[in-house]
Amino acid sequence: MGLFKKQERNIEALSTIQDTNTFKLTRKIAEGGMGAVYEAIQLGSDGFEKRMAIKTILEDFSANDEFVEMFIGEAKLVADLIHQHIVQIYQLGKVGRQYYMAMEFIHGVNLEQFIDRHHQYKKRIPTELCVYIASRVSRALEYAHKKRNRNGELLGVVHRDISPKNIMIEAEGVVKLTDFGIAKARHIMKDKEGDVLMGKVQYMSPEQAAFEQTDGRSDVFSLGVVLYEMLAGRNIFADDDTLVCIDNVQKKPIPPISHYNPNVDDDLQRVLDRMLERDKGKRYQDAGECATDLEFYIYKGGYGPTFNTMADYLQHLFPEFKQHVAAR
């Protein structure tokens, strides 16, 4: 009994400890329409330091209840999505009227920057790396789609914003999915489907573009659009006119990927065709099944790309990352 009483006293004492960690912002990483992301150092006791990313709501939008609710919902959702291919959120905080999220810092690039660097050098992304990146995102989606709450109830998570900007590649070669800001999840995030079109139109599934209800299959289609773009060097649905873009997503014929990239064989074409099937009943029904086919494609010969392969290639494209990796 004495041991249990001592443990109870320790737990009671710990529950009264105040959080003394503070954050020192070092630079702005990015700014969007309503928020910004900063690199920061978390300062703790006895000289403890940890590099973090701090995501904030821009002050002008801090009074917007709807946006604040989405911001809080993202933090609550991703706090329980613990996966090696999903960017982690550690803390939701508030300073005055302004909310912030303390997040895992990714020293690397997003997929849009990765694609743009290839355009700059006028070179193709190696096919096996395109498939490798898509397979890692597909595993992240498989986990998110199957996530259940503490009562065992399926959360019904749908990311709804799969796009190159929301896929990160670390200098060490690890691929991470981020930004669940417009995701939907039962009892956590309001979906507004049927009322508001949310997401980047050129990466939407046909059902999302039609204001219909979405499920995990919608994310699979969006990932197919991203994979097609990596292989072809262009987005197949993009247009400066949003209405034309929406129509493209729903109706525009999708050329065989070999039309843009002769290095893609029939096996990969079949996987891509199934990802981009407009009839969601014929599409991959599960992101895990899609991931398995992508992985089989790159590993069926017995060896294929790993995060080390990805890291070496990324450091060749972005030499500034070599010093960072060596320093660590």
Q: What is the DSSP letter of 164?
A: G
161 included as an active-site residue: yes
Determine the distance from the C-alpha atom of residue 289 to the mean position of all C-alpha atoms in its chain, rounded to a whole number: 19
Q: Which residues pair with 108 in a beta bridge?
A: 170
Task: Give the Å distances, CA to CA, from 34 to 37, 55, 93, 111, 302.
Answer: 11, 11, 17, 21, 46
- The pLDDT value given to residue 255: 94
In the chain, which residue ranges form alpha helices assigned H by DSSP?
2-15, 65-79, 111-121, 127-146, 206-209, 216-232, 242-251, 266-275, 287-299, 307-317, 320-327
Q: What is the pTM of this model?
A: 0.89
| Cβ atoms of residues 147 and 80 within 8 Å | yes
Q: CB-based contacts of 264: which residues, under 8 Å, 6+ apart? A: 127, 231, 257, 258, 272
- Tokens 């006791």 map to which residue? 45
**Residue 202: what pLDDT?**
96
pLDDT tens for the chain, 328 residues long, are 454 555 555 555 545 544 555 888 889 988 876 778 999 998 888 888 899 999 988 777 777 787 888 888 888 888 889 999 999 999 888 887 788 889 999 999 999 999 999 999 999 999 999 999 999 999 999 999 999 988 888 888 999 999 999 999 999 999 999 988 878 776 665 556 655 677 799 999 999 999 898 999 999 999 999 999 999 999 999 999 999 999 999 999 999 999 999 999 999 999 999 999 999 999 999 999 999 999 999 999 888 999 999 999 999 999 988 765 544 4
Distance CA 9, CA 314 (A): 51
What pLDDT, on a 0 to 100 scale, did the predictor assign at position 217? 97
pLDDT of 266-294, one tens digit each? 999 999 999 999 999 999 999 999 999 99
Q: Which amino acid is at 95?
A: V
Q: What pLDDT, on the 0 to 100 scale, is given for residue 221? A: 98
From the candidates 161, 179, 219, 293, which is the catalytic residue?
A: 161
| Cα dihedral: 150, 154, 158, 164 (round 10) | 60
Domains of the chain, with CATH numbers? 16-104 (3.30.200.20), 108-317 (1.10.510.10)
Could you give the CA distance from residue 283 to residue 116 in angstroms, rounded to a whole number? 29
The first and second tokens of residue 31, run together, are 């700014």
- What is the token pair recorded at 179? 């930004």
Q: What is the pLDDT of residues 197-216, one digit of tens each?
A: 777 999 999 999 998 989 99
Q: Are strands 35-43 and 98-104 parallel, antiparallel or unpaired?
A: unpaired
Q: Is 126 exposed, middle or buried (0-12, 13-18, 19+ CB in 10 A)?
A: middle
CB 92 within 8 Å of CB 72: yes
- Residue given tokens 């005055």 in the structure block: 96
